[in-house]
């Protein structure tokens, strides 16, 4: 069963080495694998090339669609594992799109790798495959708030959020665009018993100037509510580019 990946350029899978830019592992050297396809559609998504293909009319603020053939590639799990191993690093971050949509194939791929710290970045709506879950060291769960444009019944599934909250491997990252978004975060934290020390708030933004402006007031909210703050290191270093 092949894995469906995003591309850095046509025909070149988005597998790369970089510092983790967000969340609990920010700053750590990692190998990244970006998978294609997503079950949600955030209006501010900075990886819309993983899902907003020609013919997809789900809204996005850029109002741009992508050619599927140029932006998506299928590779055998053994090929993907070999490309990861070639970096010689011990930390793997699997991102997307929504990686858990390809759980069975990921389990096969990870079974071919040696001892690595495996992180999966997920929107928190998909149950991890039973063969994949034991191979994961860390879930970076990013539930999508109302400002993402997704319907709540699709983006915020109570049983999934509660299950991740009860899993000590799961860290929660909420994207914040306005101070008012915190009300929704506080409600979700209470409803699903998410430990505050596993909550990160991150400013929404695809350029360094926007991130800096929002970091000012967002860091204060983190201080007041005992949440962690996370920036988007890769944006400051490289801008909004693929393979970073």
Name all domains of the chain by residue range, CATH numbers in brackets: 3-238 (3.20.20.70)
- The whole-number pLDDT of residue 155 equals 98
pTM of the model: 0.97
Token pair for 236:
């400051």
What does the pLDDT look like over 48-94, one tens digit per residue? Answer: 999 999 999 899 999 999 999 999 999 999 999 999 999 999 999 99
Measured in residues, the chain has a length of 244
Q: What are the angstrom distances between the C-alpha of 125 and each of 78, 142, 144, 153?
A: 27, 10, 10, 10
The H or E element spanning position 94 is strand 91-95
Please calculate the CA angle 242-21-51 and round it to the nearest 5 degrees: 40
Predicted confidence pLDDT, tens digits, the chain (244 residues): 799 999 999 999 999 999 999 999 999 999 999 999 999 999 999 999 999 999 998 999 999 999 999 999 999 999 999 999 999 999 999 999 999 999 999 999 999 998 999 999 999 999 999 999 999 999 999 999 999 999 999 999 999 999 999 999 999 999 999 999 999 999 999 999 999 999 999 999 999 999 999 999 999 999 999 999 999 999 999 999 999 9
Torsion of CA 71, 58, 200, 109, to 10 degrees: -40
- Average of per-residue pLDDT values in the chain: 97
Residues 94 and 33 sit within 8 Å (Cβ to Cβ): yes
- The whole-number pLDDT of residue 114 equals 86
Cα–Cα distance, 10 to 48 (Å, whole number)? 15
What b-and-e string marks burial along 129-160, b requiring 16 or more CB atoms within 10 Å of the CB?
beebbebbebbbbbbbbebbbbeeeebbbeeb
- The whole-number pLDDT of residue 199 equals 98
DSSP H stretches of helix in 10-110: 68-71, 77-85, 103-110
Nearest to 205 by CA among 147, 156, 123: 147
């Amino acid at each position: 069963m092949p894995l469906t990946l995003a591309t850095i350029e046509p025909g070149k899978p988005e597998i790369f080495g970089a510092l983790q830019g967000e969340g609990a592992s920010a700053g750590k050297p990692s190998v990244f694998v970006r998978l294609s396809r997503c079950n949600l559609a955030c209006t501010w998504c900075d990886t819309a090339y993983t899902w907003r293909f020609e013919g997809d009319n789900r809204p996005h603020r850029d109002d741009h669609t992508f050619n599927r053939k140029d932006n998506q590639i299928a590779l055998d799990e053994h090929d993907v594992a070999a490309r990861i191993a070639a970096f010689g690093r011990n930390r793997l971050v699997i991102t997307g799109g929504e990686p858990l949509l390809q759980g069975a194939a990921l389990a096969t791929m990870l079974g071919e790798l040696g001892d690595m710290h495996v992180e999966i970045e997920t929107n928190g709506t998909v149950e991890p495959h039973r063969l994949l879950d034991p191979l994961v060291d860390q879930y970076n769960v990013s539930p999508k708030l109302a400002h993402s444009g997704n319907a709540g019944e699709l983006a915020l599934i109570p049983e999934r959020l509660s299950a991740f909250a009860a899993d000590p491997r799961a860290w929660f990252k909420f994207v914040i665009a306005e101070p008012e978004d915190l009300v929704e975060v506080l409600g979700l934290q209470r409803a699903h018993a998410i430990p505050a020390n596993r909550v990160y708030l991150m400013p929404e933004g695809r350029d360094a100037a926007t991130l800096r402006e929002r970091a000012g007031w967002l860091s204060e909210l983190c201080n007041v509510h005992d949440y962690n703050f996370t920036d988007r290191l890769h944006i400051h270093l490289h801008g909004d580019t693929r393979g970073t």
